[in-house]
Amino acid sequence: MPENVTIVRVSEETNFDDNGKPVAQVRVAFKVGQDGPFYKVYDRGAFSSDHARRDLDEFARELRTLRGL
């Protein structure tokens, strides 16, 4: 049975690329069961909740695999 992925916080921020150009991003803080918080950062223009959910679920599966080692 998969562990619950819990979103702790979603925030928008601006960082800068290698050329000093501002880049709008979305930072997602989340927990997997009791572990975390972990963070994933997405470019604002490419962010979607569906994509983020798939990403976080994949991370949770990989974490479970690592625990099994």
Q: What percent of the chain has pLDDT over 90?
A: 80
pLDDT at residue 64, as a whole number: 87
pLDDT tens digits, residue range 14-34? 999 999 999 999 999 999 988
Instruction: Spell out the residues 6+ positions from residue 53 whose beta carbon is closer than 8 angstroms to its own.
Output: 5
Q: What is the tally of structural domains in the chain? A: 1
Which pLDDT value is given to residue 68?
78
Q: Which domain holds residue 49?
A: 5-67
**What pLDDT score was predicted for residue 17?**
93
DSSP category for residue 44? G
Read off the pLDDT of each residue in 50-64 and give the average, rounded to a whole number. Answer: 93
